[in-house]
Amino acid sequence: MLRPEAIAFISTLILTPVVRELCIHWRLFDSVGPLKIHSKAIPRLGGIAIGLAFSAAMIFPGNLSRPHAWTFFAALILIWTAGLADDIWPLSPILRLTAQIGGAMLLWCAGCRLPWLKAAPANLTALCVLTVIFINSFNFLDGSDGLCAGVAAIIAAAYVMVPAFALSPLGSAVAWSLLGISAGFLAFNFPPARIFLGDSGSTLLGFCAAFLAFDFYRANALNNRLAALAVPLLMSAVPLLDGILTILRRLRAGRSPLNGDRRHVYDLMLGLDWSPRRVALTLYALTIATCVIAWLVLKSDFRHALLICGAGTSALVVAAIRLGALESTERKRPPLGMAESR
């Protein structure tokens, strides 16, 4: 029997060209616009291909028979459906946010908890906030060709290929499936992209990353609580940092965090006349570096782990701020040819 990553990878390679042709036939494109940084209309429903491929990877090997699998899958379908609706018809940000919170609540019902809050209402609220941040950070990252899928593939690979990163059986299946769909989609999304993930795709990847973070904590908290907390955040540090700085930047400017702009880290890199490939490869390298830092934290004692976490995150934050990620003033227009900047 094929492993979940093989099913996910092969299914994505088969389905993505089909979805792309259907988008062209039905004229379902991501058109150019004031917040877009591509110069021509590009098919935008790649999330359909990876959603179906991920479902196949979870269903056929019997992964849905694992504990809490159906609850996770129901949450995933809820968030994916909201994203797909927004890809086809403009959906209110409140409705999308409601679906994301609903998915987080289902994870909480499946036993996902945060360690520092004992009261159930506070724990549930914090879990919902963190899940929403994960989901939208990956959605924000889907603004330049190959970024979201490539970063998700690296994070998934780190979870499954480093022996010290322990996951539950369901978490392992999710990580392998995430690796398969991300790597398969990257064949069509690496610069220059022939199809975009859309909200359905980027939010699916973000939700899987959030689930893996919670699952990792649950599997490792008894052995090393600091590492169990820090490792998932470090592994997803690139999208999380851009997402958090985006929210802070927009609030600082007196704007809604839901209103798009062109001040993401990749926008600023493109504004330096970097090519889309250089931007993608640089952020891939940074993601690999944060995964290595996460591994070092896992292998270190408490004191050294704190020093490694502090040094690694501080370096990323300082670099992003010096690049201008907290400034609200628009700079040079990035070169055309990439996806939407949310």
pLDDT over 80 (residue 181):
yes
Structure tokens at 340: 């939407």
Inside any domain, residue 108 = yes
Structure tokens at 140: 């924000």
Inside any domain, residue 338 = no
Inside any domain, residue 22 = yes
- Looking at the chain, the whole-number percentage of residues with pLDDT higher than 90 is 75
Inside any domain, residue 342 = no
Query: What is the rounded distance in angstroms from the CA atom of residue 91 to the CA atom of residue 318?
Result: 35
State pTM to two decimals: 0.93
Mean pLDDT value of segment 83-100: 94
Residues 206/134, Cβ–Cβ less than 8 Å: yes
Q: Using 50, 70 and 90 to split pLDDT, how confident is the model at 79?
A: very high
How many other CB atoms are found less than 10 A from the CB of residue 334?
A: 24
Q: What's the chain's length in residues?
A: 342
Which DSSP helix (H) or strand (E) runs through 30? strand 29-30
Query: What is the rounded distance in angstroms from the CA atom of residue 250 to the CA atom of residue 272?
Result: 22
**H helix runs in 60-119, sequence order:** 69-88, 93-109
How many other CB atoms are found less than 10 A from the CB of residue 146?
A: 26
Q: How many CA atoms lie within 13 A of 30 on its CB side?
A: 30
How many other CB atoms are found less than 10 A from the CB of residue 13?
A: 17
Q: Using 50, 70 and 90 to split pLDDT, how confident is the model at 32?
A: low
Q: Using 50, 70 and 90 to split pLDDT, how confident is the model at 11?
A: very high
Inside any domain, residue 167 = yes
Q: Give the total number of structural domains in the chain.
A: 1
Inside any domain, residue 332 = no
Q: Using 50, 70 and 90 to split pLDDT, how confident is the model at 148?
A: very high
* Phi-psi label, residue 146: left if phi above 0, alpha if psi -120 to 50, beta otherwise: left
pLDDT over 50 (residue 332):
no
How many other CB atoms are found less than 10 A from the CB of residue 1?
A: 8
Query: What is the rounded distance in angstroms from the CA atom of residue 162 to the CA atom of residue 194?
Result: 32
Which pLDDT score is estimated for 333? 44
Could you tell me the residue range of the domain that residue 262 belongs to? 4-323
Q: Which residues contact 258 (CB under 8 A, 6 or more apart)?
A: 93, 97
Block residue for tokens 């599997």: 219
pLDDT in tens, 235-251: 999 999 999 999 999 99
Q: What DSSP designation does 191 have?
A: S
Inside any domain, residue 29 = yes
Mean pLDDT value of segment 123-148: 96
DSSP string, 140-175: HHTTSTTHHHHHHHHHHHHHHHSTT----HHHHHHH
Strand-pair partners of 43:
29
DSSP string, 38-66: -SS-EE--HHHHHHHHHHHHHHTTTGGGS
Inside any domain, residue 328 = no
Structure tokens at 129: 């906030």
Residues 207/103, Cβ–Cβ less than 8 Å: yes
